Structure 1
Amino acid sequence: MATDSKQAEEEFEMTKWGIIGVGNMGGMLLETWINTGAISADDIVILNRSTEKSLKWKNTFPSISVANSISQIADQADILFICVRPPHIQGVCHELQPLLKTDQVLVSITSPFSIEDLEALVPCQVARAIPSITNRAASGATLLTFGTSLSNHNKAKLIDLTSSYSNPVFIQEDITRVSSDIVSCGPAFFGYLAQRFIDGAVSETTISKEQATHLTSEMLIGLGTLLANGHYTLEELIKKVCVKGGITGEGISVLEKEMTEVFPQVFQATHRKYYDEKEVIKKELYK
């Protein structure tokens, strides 16, 4: 068993990992992989439409390789993460199609392209791994969905990788969008709410924005720690703080009145956009 484990570790280290598109999320993954020690910089090759952005990352992490073309990164990477916006995925896959071999893996990080769509575009094995900005702090979840041809060996590699900086969660296609709303979009949604919370405190009292921001940040960090350590569930936490007839209850009453429809509308909006994008993808794939 020890020999098998050592062999698996050596094979993982020998794997060459690629990223096409090192913008917000691709760049976040690159930083996370290297800074957590999940992947050695020597084993990463990147490609970006803007060479300037690639060189910026090369200056930050000198040991990474910068590919000059789609063909070069396809030739070098065993497992290739495609981190471009949904409208550009089909074009990139079209360029990759004659270059990828069946033992390579293409990993999408976006929801509108289904695993079935990806499998129709490229001859290699495919997977989806939707990250969260929280992964940058080696926390949060990564949403995993595997293609039908993905080997157990490559499944294990992706699970090992994502486990090193997040909690991998396996999801089915029909809950991809809502899961992504929670895991990937959620930090922005709750960040926005926190900012409005701060603005409200500043507008209604004499507290400074700096003070309110500091206190709110500390509160959110503490809240996350409480949940992470299993001290309370969300429901238990609300009951603990919201004493009957107390001040917190007055605030909760306002939230109940004003926010009942907010999050249903949020999910309706994200799903409308999601299905609009899927419809465009479908027309392009099967025209």
Structure 2
Amino acid sequence: MKIAILGAGNMGLSFSKSFLKYELIKPEHLHLITRSESKISKIAEEFPKSRISTFEETKELDADLIIIAVKPQDFQHFTQNFEFTIRENQMILSIMAGIKIEKIQNLLNHPLVVRAMPNSPTLLGMGITGYTAAEGISFSQLISIERLLNSTGRSVYLENEDLLDGVTALSGSGPAYFYYIVDAMIKAGVEMGIEENLSKLFVQQTMLGAYHLINNSEKSLEDLIKDVASKGGTTEAALKTFEDNRFKEILKSGILNAEKRAKELNG
């Protein structure tokens, strides 16, 4: 398979590394296209055998699969300014937040579109991607796409495209919520007099251990919380503060606003 990636940013490059790591494509069959000419030399260091070009100098795409990894806000401008033609048998895989399949089909005048929403842990091969496909994509084509997506972590096929906006809000944006909470915990540690690097170690290892407990326990989250929060103890004092300030509701509200913004990106 030959793959062209339009938008060689963090996500496009992390996908590329996964494809090459698992030998799903040959380096010489990878074409990376960037908006910025100044980034070409840095990209070339990481992908010495692949073709690298700017949008302006790209006149044709010799690829079976074209991955669109530009910012959703830039997509319409991009479609109005690219000069290459998409061939009838080429597949499109969009990893843009919010932009629906129908809009991609209309702007590119091309029916074979798969839409996916990955998240940043794909950088480590530990991401999760929700994806869906337009009518006309064959089962074998979908399996090929799934194989590529699974090289970056896990993937889940969704029949209902509308759910991808929720996936965007939940897992696409989710790592940032996690980092936000971790940052607050580290800063609380510093305020209590714990040196920053030590506070970071305590919080990171706590989060790692808690994740493994969730993964390996048959208990519900409510029961796991009760295991830590003894009556009248320190954990209960913290949880009461969270409840009094509606922390859970605020977090849920933020996630729902992220979904709302994903829907707005389609224009």
TM-score by length of 2: 0.88
User: Are 2:67 and 2:92, in contact at CA under 8 Å, matched by a contact in 1?
Assistant: yes
Deviation at 1:33, TM superposition (A): 3.0
Please give the alpha-carbon distance, in whole angstroms, between the structure 1 residues aligned to 2:47 and 2:216: 34
Between stretches 21-30 and 265-274, larger displacement belongs to 265-274
- Secondary structure of 1:173's aligned partner: coil
Q: 1:263 to 1:120 in 2, by over 3 A?
A: same
- Whole-Å separation in 2 of the counterparts to 1:84 and 1:23: 8
Match of 2:166 in 1: 178
- Residue among 187, 205, 209 paired with 1:218: 205
Tell me, in whole angstroms, the C-alpha distance in 1 between the residues paired with 2:195 and 2:53: 48
Q: Which has the higher contact order (CA 8 A, sep 6+)?
A: 2
Which residue does the alignment assign to 1:266? 254
Provide structure 2 residue ranges, at least 5 long, that are not aligned to the other structure: none
Contact residue 100 and residue 124 of structure 1 kept, 8 A:
no
CA distance in 1 between counterparts of 2:204 and 2:61 reads: 45
Bigger Cα displacement from structure 2, 223-232 vs 251-260: 223-232
Which runs of 5 or more residues in structure 1 are unaligned?
Answer: 1-14, 282-287
Alignment pair present for 1:256 and 2:251: no
On the 8 A contact 2:11/2:120 being kept in 1, the answer is yes
User: Within 5 Å, which residues of 2 pair with 1:218-237?
Assistant: 218-230=205-217, 232-237=219-224
Matched residue SS, 1:75:
coil
State the partner residue of 1:155: 142
Q: Which residue of 2 aligns with 1:25?
A: 11
Equivalents in 2 of 1:275, 1:27: separation in Å? 26
More helix by share: 1
Distance change in 2, residues 1:250/1:68 (3 Å): closer
Alpha-carbon distance in structure 1 between the residues aligned to 2:174 and 2:71: 19
Contact 1:201-1:207 within 8 A present in 2 as well: yes
Contact 2:30-2:51 within 8 A present in 1 as well: yes
Query: 1:200 corresponds to which residue?
Result: 188
Residue by residue, what CA displacement relative to the aligned partner does 1:61-100 show, whole Å, maximum 9, x if unpaired? 2122113546847421211111111122123334568611
The AA in structure 2 aligned to 1:20 is L
C-alpha separation between the residues in 2 aligned to 1:229 and 1:44? 39
Deviation for aligned residue 1:36: 4.8
Aligned partners of 1:103 and 1:76: how far apart in 2?
11
| 1-structure distance, mates of 2:223, 2:83 | 51
SS of the residue aligned with 1:142? strand
Farther off after superposition, 221-230 or 207-216: 221-230
TM-score (norm 1): 0.83
Range 206-215 or range 112-121, more displaced: 112-121
2:130 corresponds to: 143
State the number of aligned residues.
264
- Contact 2:15–2:152 (CA under 8 A) maintained in structure 1: no
